[in-house]
Amino acid sequence: MPTKKTVAKKPVAKKIAKKRTAKVKVTVDELVDDELAEIEVAELPASDTDAFEPIQLQATPDDIGYRLDQFLVANIPDVSRVRVQELLEQEKILVNGAPAKSSMKLRGTEHIAIVGKAQVAPLKALAEDIPLDIVYEDKDLAIINKPAGMLVHAGAGTGDDPRNRGTLVNALLFHFKKLSELGGELRPGIVHRLDKDTSGLIVVAKNDVAHRKLGEQFASRDVSKRYIALVHGAVKLERGTITASISRDRVQRTRMTTRPSEGSRSAVSHYTVVERLTSPFGRFTLIEVKIDTGRTHQIRVHMASIGHPVVGDTLYGAHSVLSPLTLEREARGTAISVKRESKKGAKIGSNEARSLSLPRNFLHAAAIKFQHPKTGKALAFESQLPDDLQQYLARLKETEG
């Protein structure tokens, strides 16, 4: 029987009725920044919009042995396993006319129909007394230095769900009381976003007028954003531009990809080498990155696409633990077992021998420039690397050969 990993490679089942995915038009009045607009939009099938059109599928002998949820994820464009599970739980997916479980194994003859919309519980941000590093504040906007590990806003469940606690939005509501309402109850004041494990500067709008004007600047690419990243390997060029388009990975829904896809969106990243490091843990390159667009995971997926994933970014190929014998093994041309070499380093006991790990991505939003939405005055802000990233760099330099 085929394994889970082969689902995306199997022939697409014969479709009885033409189906379509939701087309979500995002305007400045709604989700004004490209990278904010990416959140969950690609995960919504037509069954989650007012333009719902029933989808009907026919399993074939090629599908024998597959779980029902695997089959659906592989055959419905731009739908996540979470969304499929919601539809199944709400009995909006029928197999041969009857509700079915996600674990059901197909026999290759089933008629499968998606007959309704998934009813998603409404989300609402809640004020929480969480410390904030406020870099700048006036009546129209605020600049926050977001720490790594903090979600910008909630992404699932209801307002009382523990997973919705500790977000930047919750902290903003407590400190500022009133924010722009253009982002709705879930994203008040949020003009753009940073990934959970990315630290650095983020702009917040306090009123709708400021939000709309800031959004226009983001949409017209008049906002300059500079990031600092440490990537694996020796980047060949001193400076370069990556123009690969980005879309959501069809198999791993939490990932983005530069592989050509119908839903790909243009993305442009410019990088400049700041410093090169060589240590027993391997070769690394510290870079500055300026982005013309703001796609989800843009810098992470772009750097990984040229063979230089961001340190700590296990989603895009970086090791969670680095071996102190990496460079030596590379020189010999032999494979590296991070787990085995880390254990060896621990037994040796010296500072240079111990393994190295970073529980977040080495990516920091270090600078942002834009015009004040009310006065038109040019504003520019910078943020130094946080302590954890500075300490990581220092550790590498201590062992640098």
User: What whole-number percentage of the chain has pLDDT above 90?
Assistant: 56
Select, from the ranges 236-240, 248-252, 253-257, 334-338, the one with the highest average predicted confidence (pLDDT).
236-240
Tell me which residue has tokens 């606690």.
Answer: 165
Question: Binning pLDDT at 50, 70 and 90, where does residue 333 land?
Answer: low
How far is the C-alpha of 318 from the C-alpha of 214, rounded, in Å?
Answer: 35
Return the half-sphere exposure (C-beta side, CA atoms, 13 A cut-off) of residue 163. Answer: 7
Q: Is 197 annotated in the active site?
A: no
109 contact partners, CB below 8 Å, separation of at least 6: 59
Q: What is the pLDDT of residue 355?
A: 87
Q: Under a CB-based contact definition with an 8 Å cutoff, are residues 383 and 200 in contact?
A: yes
pLDDT for the residue 161: 58
Q: What is the average pLDDT across 329-352?
A: 51
Contact (CB, 8 A) for 210 and 145 = no
**CA triplet 343, 345, 348: central angle to 5 degrees?**
115
96 pLDDT higher than 80: yes
Question: What are the CA-CA distances from residue 272 to residues 169, 235, 245, 356, 384 (Å)?
Answer: 32, 10, 20, 25, 17
Nearest to residue 217, comparing CAs of 76, 360, 374? 374
Q: In this predicted model, which residue has the larger pLDDT, 78 or 370?
A: 370
Note the pLDDT of residue 246: 95
pLDDT of the residue at 250: 82
Strands, E assignment, 81-223: 93-95, 98-99, 111-114, 134-137, 141-146, 199-205
The band of 316, judged by pLDDT with boundaries at 50, 70 and 90, is: very high
What's the pLDDT score for residue 218? 93
- Residues 317-336, mean pLDDT to the nearest whole number: 76
Residues with Cβ within 8 Å of 332's Cβ and at least 6 positions away in sequence, in order, are none
Higher-scoring residue by pLDDT: 368, 87: 368
* pLDDT(45) > 60: no
pLDDT at 185: 80
pLDDT at 174: 95
d(CA 253, CA 256): 8
CA distance 98 to 211: 47
Instruction: Tokens for 71, please give them.
Output: 């089959």
Report d(CA 212, CA 139) in Å as an integer.
Answer: 15
Q: Which helix (H) or strand (E) holds 272?
A: strand 269-279
Residue 317 has what pLDDT? 93
**pLDDT at res. 121:** 56
Cβ-contact 226, 367 below 8 angstroms: yes
pLDDT, position 393: 96
Q: What are the pLDDT digits (tens) for 51-63?
A: 456 788 999 998 9
pLDDT digits (tens, 9 = 90+) for 163-217: 578 999 999 999 999 999 988 888 899 999 999 999 999 999 999 999 999 999 9
Mean of the pLDDT values across residues 226-243? 97
pLDDT value, residue 42: 27
Nearest residue to 73 via CA among 150, 24, 18, 5: 5
Which range has the worst mean pLDDT, 113-122, 133-142, 200-209, 307-316? 113-122
Q: Which whole-number Å values give the CA distances from 79 to 68, 74, 75, 167, in the listed order? A: 14, 9, 9, 26
Spatial CA neighbour of 386 closest among 357, 356, 365: 365
The reported pLDDT for the residue numbered 78 is: 64
Confidence of residue 44 (pLDDT cuts 50, 70, 90): very low
- For residue 1, is pLDDT > 80? no
Average pLDDT for residues 147-152, to the nearest whole number? 95
Among 362, 358, 351, which residue's Cα sits nearest to residue 398? 351
Which candidate in 63, 195, 197, 313 is catalytic?
A: 195
Q: Please give the pLDDT value at position 162.
A: 62
C-alpha span between 233 and 237 (Å, rounded): 12
Q: Are strands 363-371 and 199-205 parallel, antiparallel or unpaired?
A: parallel
> Which position has the higher pLDDT, 59 or 329?
59
Instruction: Specify the pTM.
Output: 0.70
